């Protein structure tokens, strides 16, 4: 086993890990991240695809952006979001596959 996993975790690492699990514990955020696994979407496209209010999507994207789980780019007046952490997306996809397996 890699020694880096057996050492005591520092406070910053603990905070990031728990915040990431918090992000993945919300069904709306999981739905958004799962959608962004496919390609980038604007806020309006996310809201329309997931049948959510734009304000809800914006709020959840802000939370995900603060954890660096999503990134964005601006094209004119439209902002497009995509996932920004391959590790977290892989964990999410594995958990979805696990859930579908049962």
pLDDT the model gives residue 6: 63
pLDDT the model gives residue 3: 55
Question: For residues 46 and 81, is the Cβ–Cβ distance under 8 A?
Answer: yes
Question: How far are the Cα atoms of 24, 30, 39, 97 from residue 52, in angstroms, in the given order?
Answer: 18, 13, 18, 24
Whether residue 18 lies inside any domain: the answer is: yes
pLDDT the model gives residue 93: 87
Token readout for 22 is 């918090």
Token readout for 25 is 């514990």
Whether residue 6 lies inside any domain: the answer is: no
pLDDT the model gives residue 87: 87
CATH code for the domain of 59: 1.10.10.10
- Report the 10 Å Cβ neighbour count for 101: 6
Q: Which domain holds residue 39?
A: 12-101
Token readout for 29 is 């955020």
Dist CA 54 CA 26 (whole Å): 17
How many structural domains does the chain have?
A: 1
pTM of the predicted model as reported, rounded to 2 decimal places: 0.83
Segments of the chain scoring below 50 in pLDDT: none
């Amino acid at each position: 086993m890699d020694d880096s996993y057996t050492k005591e975790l520092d406070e910053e690492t603990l905070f990031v890990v728990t915040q990431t699990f918090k992000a993945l514990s919300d069904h709306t955020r999981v739905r958004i991240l799962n959608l962004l696994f496919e390609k980038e979407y604007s806020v309006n496209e996310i809201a329309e695809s997931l049948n959510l209010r734009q304000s809800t999507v914006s709020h959840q994207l802000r939370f995900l952006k603060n954890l660096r789980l999503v990134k964005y780019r601006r094209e004119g007046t439209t902002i497009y979001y995509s996932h920004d952490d391959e590790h977290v997306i892989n964990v999410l996809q594995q958990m979805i596959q696990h859930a579908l397996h049962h």
